[in-house]
Chains A and B, each alone.
Chain A
């Protein structure tokens, strides 16, 4: 088990932005009302906010809109930003890094450090750990952690397991160096690349360059058809892995950081699907009132789900009181993270934005 503990930092604000366009799962072509009802009961996803993937709305645009408003509300001047980390699997270009594109588009100083982290559902916890440690020494004063995905783009329209699940969202977390801060970030990680075949977009990288075969719709069984440029997910393998290893990683984290679950206000579960989340909630022994959901409105937005959950469900509480939160996620890779985030009120959280 690897772990990170970041001190001397304070979370000052959080914001999220989703596409204004909504896809209702009940409107999915060819689906019967009974099938939709069953699907919603299992996954929890009623509707999703999805961009039209023609380049008009990218993940970076969602994050940028959220960041501009958040910095305005915080009274942060863009000249003060010295660190920008963008965590996503849906970048503007293969190169350069999207964080670097954003430095220019947002008018951030050229003296800042900006880079991307390519991760999916574990993105927020990894990004927070990396950024928290970079900033803990005082080398950086004000940083923006952007986590988002517009991966509904990768879903085959003929693959219900993906097309009805994936939503788009961009989030930003404003972090400041503050030696007097009592905020705490304690995270444990687990990585197992043997799971890469279970969530993968096979073609288009250097390993499998795009070729004529990449565009061919293949019958994958179970009524699923997709090309090798669509995201493939073997749901039962993800479930099997997450349901087994997250509780074990959670126990290791509890022991390592001396966490008393009774003192925890909320358990924030990556909004993968309701079935897995409920399994984890019960296994981790948390009552429903301590485990918020918003998957019904936004679907699985990959790395954005945990910060999005904080924006939509804990907006007022993040501002009004101290919070002792736990977060748990399994993501493409597999990449797992379970962590504790302790905040002390005063966090600026604008209303969710739409683009």
Chain B
């Protein structure tokens, strides 16, 4: 999965935030819609699309979508 595809897949887990808001350098935890349920959806998406296990701690540790992508890719 490319970074662009990851940003799209990441955005798709949000219901209310418009897709165009999401960029590689978006600090996802600052988004109004960010919360525990979206976090679970992201963990789920990473499992489904990338066959990797993302932990809650990793999701809390990263700031931007790109940072998260790099962390997952390195796993």
A38, A161, A236, A243 — most chain B CB neighbours (10 Å): A236
Give the residues in chain A near B37, CB-CB below 8 Å.
Answer: 38, 42, 275
A42, A241, A244, A275 — most chain B CB neighbours (10 Å): A244
Of B36, B43, B48, which is within 8 A of A240 by CB?
B43
Q: Binary interface profile of A, 59-100, with partner B (CB < 8 Å = 1, else 0)?
A: 000000000000000000000000000000000000000000
A234 and B56 CA atoms in complex are apart in Å by 8
Report yes or no: A237 in contact with B44, Cβ–Cβ below 8 A. Answer: no
B55 interface contact, C-beta 8 A: yes
CB distance from B72 to the nearest CB of A (A): 12
CB distance from B38 to the nearest CB of A (A): 10
A279 and B40 CA atoms in complex are apart in Å by 10
A283 and B51 CA atoms in complex are apart in Å by 12
Known A42-B37, A275-B40: A236·B53 in contact at CB below 8 Å:
no
B4 interface contact, C-beta 8 A: no
A235 interface contact, C-beta 8 A: yes
Give the residues in chain B near A241, CB-CB below 8 Å.
Answer: 53
| CB-CB contacts below 8 Å: B15-68 with A | 36-37, 39-40, 43-44, 47-48, 53-57, 59
B36, B48, B54 — most chain A CB neighbours (10 Å): B36
A235 and B41 CA atoms in complex are apart in Å by 13
B37, B39, B57 — most chain A CB neighbours (10 Å): B37
A164 and B43 CA atoms in complex are apart in Å by 23
CB distance from B47 to the nearest CB of A (A): 6
A88 and B37 CA atoms in complex are apart in Å by 29
Chain A interfacial residues counted at CB < 8 A:
16
Report yes or no: B47 in contact with A236, Cβ–Cβ below 8 A. Answer: no
A241 and B55 CA atoms in complex are apart in Å by 8
> Chain B interface: which size bin?
10 to 19
A238's nearest neighbour on chain B, judged by CB, is: B56
Report yes or no: A244 in contact with B47, Cβ–Cβ below 8 A. Answer: yes
Give the residues in chain A near B44, CB-CB below 8 Å.
Answer: 239, 243, 279
Main secondary structure of the interface of A (DSSP, over half): helix
B41's nearest neighbour on chain A, judged by CB, is: A275
Report yes or no: B55 in contact with A237, Cβ–Cβ below 8 A. Answer: yes
A161 and B39 CA atoms in complex are apart in Å by 15
CB distance from A248 to the nearest CB of B (A): 10
Report yes or no: A235 in contact with B47, Cβ–Cβ below 8 A. Answer: no
A38 and B55 CA atoms in complex are apart in Å by 23
A239 and B42 CA atoms in complex are apart in Å by 11
A161's nearest neighbour on chain B, judged by CB, is: B36
Report yes or no: B47 in contact with A237, Cβ–Cβ below 8 A. Answer: no
B54's nearest neighbour on chain A, judged by CB, is: A240
A161 and B43 CA atoms in complex are apart in Å by 18
CB distance from B24 to the nearest CB of A (A): 23
| CB-CB contacts below 8 Å: A163-210 with B | none
Give the residues in chain B near A283, CB-CB below 8 Å.
Answer: 48
A279's nearest neighbour on chain B, judged by CB, is: B44
| CB-CB contacts below 8 Å: A243-259 with B | 243-244
Report yes or no: B53 in contact with A235, Cβ–Cβ below 8 A. Answer: no
CB distance from B53 to the nearest CB of A (A): 4
| CB-CB contacts below 8 Å: A3-47 with B | 38, 42
Q: A161-B36, A275-B37 are in contact. List 18 more A-B contacts (CB 8 A).
A: A38-B37, A222-B36, A235-B36, A235-B40, A235-B56, A236-B36, A236-B40, A236-B55, A236-B59, A237-B55, A237-B56, A239-B40, A239-B43, A239-B56, A240-B53, A240-B55, A240-B56, A244-B47
Instruction: List 11 A–B pairs whose Cβ atoms lie within 8 Å, in order of A's numbering.
Output: A38-B37, A234-B56, A236-B55, A236-B56, A237-B55, A239-B40, A239-B43, A243-B43, A243-B44, A244-B47, A275-B40
Q: Write the residues of chain B forming the contact surface with A, with a CB cutoff of 8 angstroms.
A: 36-37, 39-40, 43-44, 47-48, 53-57, 59
For the complex of A and B, list the 8 residue pairs with the smallest distance between their C-beta atoms, beginning with the closest: A236-B56, A244-B53, A237-B56, A240-B43, A240-B55, A239-B40, A236-B39, A42-B37
